[in-house]
Structure 1
Amino acid sequence: MKYKYLTLIICLCLGLTAKAQQADTVAAFSLRQAIDYAQNHQVSVLNAQVDEEIAINTVKQTIGIGLPQVSGNANFQDFIKLPTSLLPGEFFGQPGTQIPVQFGVKYQSSVGLELNQLLFDGSYLVGLQASKTYKELSQKNLKRTRIETSVAVTKAYYSVLVSNEQLSLIDANLERLRKSLSDTEAMFKNGFVEKIDVDRLTVLKNNLETERENVIRLLALNVNLLKFQMGMTVNSKLTLTDSIASLQADQALVSRDTTAYRNRIEYSLLETQKKLNEFDLKRYKSQFLPSLSAFGSTSQSFQSNNFSQLFDTNFPSTIIGLRLSVPIFSGGIKLNQVRNAKLAIVKTQNDLINLQNGINLEVDQAQTTYLNSQKSLENQKRNMDLAQEVLRVSKIKYEQGVGSSIEVTTAETALKEAQNNYINALYDQMINRVNVDKALGKIIY
């Protein structure tokens, strides 16, 4: 028994170890791989795929309305007390009286089949056409969800890269600052500088270490956001294989394009919605037409006052026929439904014009913002290079005794500010590039 428990404990430990190793698995993704992963794991995409399947089943459901409808039925009745009817007494030679009479037998049963086939119905024919458009709408909704997921993953991916870039700059600054502080402390011990020079550098180092901790926490948050956008569990480990340099190789295309709205899934969705509204109008108009259906039924009935003899004799019955339904007057309901359907089409057409203008404006805004951010990034890069050069010269002057520690401290602060401005400009430029591609309808998935 002891060996049994020992074996169980060992198995549990091995299982937990394997699970821990699985949780520690590091996934490395390029931007393209991250987007592909999200297309298969993001909940919003999975739900959109479910909606597409629902639309497909709805189309089949609509088609089924026009197929033969067959149903079976069976019943059994036990008349504990037979119903009584009153007949005039003249039938029985007792004029002026009412004679109670019971008709029927105690036990009755029947089985049968019914068949109904729709031959013509305008609403069904229109609904059959509209169901295909409804399926198309669900497919476009899935495409829109995929595009939105691609945009979200791309922006989250860029955020992680920018945070990594910021952390690299801080680490480089810290390494340089620690060396300067060490050199200054040595000079102070030898009496070449004052203690205030050491204190100034110490304050800068402490502030930079605090900023580094904040960036590390922000980086972890950005990585978790990327995992969420990809549909990964937050506990998974994720590394990025793309770099900012590789992703900046292809710049966004900036050009005057007044037909970009045709590439946007939002515009295509609204066009499909207009088609559905037009089918609605046809459906309401078709309600003024008659409908025709065929039907047939066959049954076997059984009757007896003795339950054991109930099924000894049967009485068959078979019926076939046509059913024509002609609408005559509906109190104006159908007429007003047609009017509202026409107004819905007009409203959708207005929405299409407004969306077209809105997309053109969005393209102009996105491209203008991108160009501004591109110029700002170039300017901030130059400023950062200049700040680094100023710091280098200030340190040389200080070491040669022709400069002050205040100049070095001021140069360090200016470099830090220039680097922060560069990081902000870099993030804005990368995000604005995504916005331009989205506005032009060039986001792929």
Structure 2
Amino acid sequence: MKKQLYILLFSLSLAFPTMAQQKDTTASFSLQDAISYAQQHQSDIKNAKIDEQIAINTVKQTIGIGLPQLSANANFQDYLKVPTSLLPGEFFGAPGTQIPVKFGVKYNSGVGLELNQLLFDGSYLVGLKASRTYKELSVKATGRTRIETTVAVTKAYYSVLVSNEQLSLIDANLERLKKSLNDTEQMLKNGFVEKIDVDRLSVLNNNLLTERENVIRLLALNVNLLKFQMGMTVGSSLTLTDKISDVNVDKTPVIGTNDVYNKRIEYSLLQTQKKLNELDVKRYKSLFLPSLSAFGSTSANFQADKFSNLYDKRFPTTVIGLRLSVPLISGGQKLYQLRNAKLESLKTDNNLINLQNAIELEVAQSQTIYLNGQKSLENQKRNMELAKEVLRVTKIKYDQGVGSSLEVTTAETSLKEAQNNYINALYDMLINKVNLDKALGNINY
């Protein structure tokens, strides 16, 4: 995933250079500032907030089902052919025949109001509770997005800090190596060393320059990745105010607590999902209950054979009543819907148990990796200091004529390798710290 983001950001930087120049702004951020900025500008969080509003509207929509429903209607009819019915001839003194008679008038019109009010529906009452739980679920989903954003921003921020530290070490090496190269070149002119001694140091210097260019490009890419995670435009200028030394790395072993489940947003989300499953079971049970509603309507009808006389006379109608609906036979659909809802609830119970085990495993793994990373960082830091001392002593011996340039070159190479190992251990340590905080539920939203 990280490589894909690198490729994406690199492609954007090539495809839209003018856009980046037009949107060039400058900002300085500490880690907490970067996290706060991301919480306001990251697209995923914005969408999560929109989902919250959708959930709120869904709750209001569900409430509206139980409120009075009022509708108005109007109609106009022009009978081009008035309906005709056949009546027995006995009514007209012609037994044994059927007489066609037209019933109705050419023009008809009507206006009316209709009111419906739900009095009792078990599925509505359960659905009302479920909609509120759905709102709770959306809020927790936003919290999960906030936590994921915090983790992503923190890791990206640490990547930039580590790249800066790596660049500082390379610059220090280049400064020292440049002085050694100049001194060796001067000694070559005076005939005290051979040309191969200068060549060895030149190779090291060229390798360091190449590595420095690579680190600078990687640093720019890490900064763009940080901007991306923060929701900042890639063309903006970003300056970090925190340093590696500002990062608080706890050197004491971390002991997991029994309360870690309740601190994990994933567990809380699954608990809310369990509530929804239980409400779903109640909803399907309520479908077996009757529903009751009240209704009322009033209307006015107008009839005439001539359009000009249509609205001269009004024929009003008003009715009120109750409507009871009792489910009898549904082909077993409701029964199997209820059974499936119960099975879904059982699946959620199993997922909760599995998540508990997964959290325990994640905490144990994160602690082990974190503690191992502490030891590795301490060892690599000691190795780096030893490599510096070895190089110092080797150079003194070389300057005094009792050592060889090959020993100096080897010591320089060992120091560079030790520094690279230190940088890798430092990066792993910082990332492991974030992973452990996330596993313990210490990253809040």
Give the secondary-structure state (helix, strand or coil) at the position aligned to 2:280: helix
2:256–2:440: 8 Å Cα contact kept in structure 1? Answer: no
Superposition map of 1:16-35 within 5 A: 23-35=23-35
The alignment status of 1:269 with 2:269, answered yes or no, reads yes
Q: Take 2:342 and 2:301, find their aligned partners in 1: how far apart are those partners?
A: 53
1:28–1:239: 8 Å Cα contact kept in structure 2? Answer: yes
Please name the residue that 1:103 is paired with. 103
Give the secondary-structure state (helix, strand or coil) at the position aligned to 2:50: helix
Please name the residue that 1:147 is paired with. 147
Query: Per-residue deviation at 1:249?
Result: 5.1
Counterpart residue identity of residue 414, structure 1: S
2:20–2:235: 8 Å Cα contact kept in structure 1? Answer: no
Q: Take 1:84 and 1:26, find their aligned partners in 2: how far apart are those partners?
A: 85
Deviations 1:99-143 (A, max 9, x none): 222111111100000000000000001111111111100000000
Please name the residue that 1:217 is paired with. 217
Counterpart residue identity of residue 44, structure 2: S
- Give every structure 1 segment of 4 or more consecutive aligned residues whose post-TM-superposition deviation is greater than 3 Å: 19-24, 249-253
Counterpart residue identity of residue 30, structure 2: S
- Percent identical pairs in the alignment equals 77
Compared with structure 1, are the counterparts of its residues 391 and 157 closer, same or farther at alpha carbon in structure 2 (3 Å cutoff)?
same
Q: Comparing 74-83 with 142-151, which one deviates more in the overlay?
A: 74-83
Please name the residue that 2:67 is paired with. 67
Deviations 1:42-95 (A, max 9, x none): 000000000000000000000000000000000111111112222222222223
Q: Take 1:100 and 1:188, find their aligned partners in 2: how far apart are those partners?
A: 132
1:252–1:433: 8 Å Cα contact kept in structure 2? Answer: no
Please name the residue that 2:13 is paired with. none
Q: Take 1:253 and 1:267, find their aligned partners in 2: how far apart are those partners?
A: 25
Please name the residue that 1:174 is paired with. 174
Q: Comparing 253-262 with 302-311, which one deviates more in the overlay?
A: 253-262
Please name the residue that 1:116 is paired with. 116
Counterpart residue identity of residue 434, structure 1: V
1:252–1:437: 8 Å Cα contact kept in structure 2? Answer: no
Please name the residue that 1:44 is paired with. 44
Counterpart residue identity of residue 372, structure 1: N
Please name the residue that 1:339 is paired with. 339
2:197–2:405: 8 Å Cα contact kept in structure 1? Answer: yes
TM-score (structure 2 length as normaliser): 0.94
Superposition map of 1:419-438 within 5 A: 419-438=419-438
The alignment status of 1:392 with 2:410, answered yes or no, reads no
Q: Take 1:91 and 1:383, find their aligned partners in 2: how far apart are those partners?
A: 121
1:119–1:294: 8 Å Cα contact kept in structure 2? Answer: yes
Query: Per-residue deviation at 1:346?
Result: 1.1
Q: Comparing 332-341 with 84-93, which one deviates more in the overlay?
A: 84-93
The alignment status of 1:190 with 2:224, answered yes or no, reads no
Superposition map of 1:79-94 within 5 A: 79-94=79-94
Please name the residue that 1:157 is paired with. 157
Please name the residue that 1:350 is paired with. 350
Q: Take 2:241 and 2:152, find their aligned partners in 1: how far apart are those partners?
A: 18
1:258–1:360: 8 Å Cα contact kept in structure 2? Answer: no
Deviations 1:288-341 (A, max 9, x none): 111000000000000011111111110000000000001111111111111111
Counterpart residue identity of residue 30, structure 1: S
Query: Per-residue deviation at 1:98?
Result: 2.6
Q: Take 1:83 and 1:236, find their aligned partners in 2: how far apart are those partners?
A: 78
Counterpart residue identity of residue 106, structure 1: K
Give the secondary-structure state (helix, strand or coil) at the position aligned to 1:48: helix
1:87–1:99: 8 Å Cα contact kept in structure 2? Answer: yes
Please name the residue that 2:15 is paired with. none
2:20–2:234: 8 Å Cα contact kept in structure 1? Answer: no
**Structure 2, unpaired ranges of 5+:** 1-18
TM-score (structure 1 length as normaliser): 0.94
2:89–2:96: 8 Å Cα contact kept in structure 1? Answer: yes
Counterpart residue identity of residue 299, structure 1: S
2:251–2:374: 8 Å Cα contact kept in structure 1? Answer: no
Q: Take 1:434 and 1:282, find their aligned partners in 2: how far apart are those partners?
A: 41
Query: Per-residue deviation at 1:444?
Result: 2.6
The alignment status of 1:379 with 2:348, answered yes or no, reads no
Q: Take 2:236 and 2:69, find their aligned partners in 1: how far apart are those partners?
A: 53
Deviations 1:179-219 (A, max 9, x none): 11111111111111100001000000001100000000000
Q: How many residues align?
A: 427
Counterpart residue identity of residue 361, structure 2: L
Q: Take 2:297 and 2:444, find their aligned partners in 1: how far apart are those partners?
A: 57
Counterpart residue identity of residue 50, structure 1: I
Please name the residue that 1:10 is paired with. none
Query: Per-residue deviation at 1:258?
Result: 3.7
Superposition map of 1:241-390 within 5 A: 241-248=241-248, 250=250, 254-390=254-390
Give the secondary-structure state (helix, strand or coil) at the position aligned to 1:37: helix
Query: Per-residue deviation at 1:259?
Result: 3.3
Query: Per-residue deviation at 1:269?
Result: 0.3
1:174–1:205: 8 Å Cα contact kept in structure 2? Answer: yes
Query: Per-residue deviation at 1:22?
Result: 7.8
Q: Take 1:360 and 1:228, find their aligned partners in 2: how far apart are those partners?
A: 32
